Amino acid sequence: MIFPCIDLMDGKVVQLVQGREKALEGDAPEEMLRRFAAFPEIQVIDLDAAMGRGSNDDLVRAIASKAAIRAGGGVRTAERARALVEQGARKVIVGTSAFTRTGINEALLAEIRDAVGRERLLVAVDSKGGRIVVKGWQEATALAAEDVLGSLEPYCSGFLCTYVDKEGMMQGTDLDWFRRLRAATSLELTAAGGITTLDDVRALLGMNVHAALGMAVYTGRIRLEDLAALLA
């Protein structure tokens, strides 16, 4: 599977570099949905909710009414996860709140799993410098991604794994890291961060890893027509 990404900030579609600097604004959500129509599912992240400065709930709801989505951003409670499902999300992505500095937040993950169902829950495992990072990728934990996937499996149906070192930089990704992650779990695995070329996408699909694409699509580095052809 290939998931085009819609990241929302201040009511607009944006792309950030390293989760901090806004690199560009996309077209209106309706136009992005038209462009992404060939893809079965779209990934939607509410960056304002993730940063704790409001939300784009109305936009998420509008997008979900027109396309199948997996949604994340600011999922810190079972209530927030349930709200995203009620807004139309097929799957909910939990990131920062899934972890503590030293381990997995098992109590919260169990609560969210019980609220929306394990099959609807994805855990975002974002890595920078070999360690899982949280809070907008600003704070490192003591955990390595490949070491915790197995322990997370009882709570979710899959993982969104971002190689933050190259996120938004259009410099390629770390395929060896994704191979190690693929070997660490049998659950669904989606790669993000630095995916720049069709060869990157082919390599990921070849190892049974989905690809979530943002900057490469928005800048035209990878053409949507070529991506759609890979799914044919």
Is the dihedral angle over the CA atoms 129, 131, 132, 137 positive or is it negative? negative
Question: Tokens for 179?
Answer: 């191979």
DSSP assignment letter at 104: B
Residues 55 and 74 sit within 8 Å (Cβ to Cβ): yes
Determine the Cα–Cα distance for residues 132 and 144; give it in Å rounded to an integer. Answer: 6
Q: Where are the domains of the chain?
A: 2-231
Catalytic residue among 7, 46, 165, 200: 7
Is there a catalytic annotation at residue 126? Answer: yes
**pLDDT 10s digit of each residue in the chain, 232 long?**
999 999 999 999 999 877 677 888 888 999 999 999 999 999 999 999 988 889 999 999 999 999 999 999 999 999 999 999 999 999 999 999 999 878 999 999 999 999 999 999 999 999 998 899 888 777 888 899 999 999 999 999 999 999 988 775 667 899 999 999 999 999 999 999 999 999 999 999 999 999 999 999 999 999 999 999 998 8
Which amino acid makes up residue 232?
A: A
Is there a catalytic annotation at residue 147? Answer: no
The percent helix, strand, coil of the chain (3-state, each to 5) is: 40, 25, 35
pTM of the model as a whole: 0.93
Question: Tokens for 231?
Answer: 């799914």
Which amino acid makes up residue 98?
A: A
Catalytic residue among 10, 48, 57, 126: 126
CATH number of 2-231: 3.20.20.70
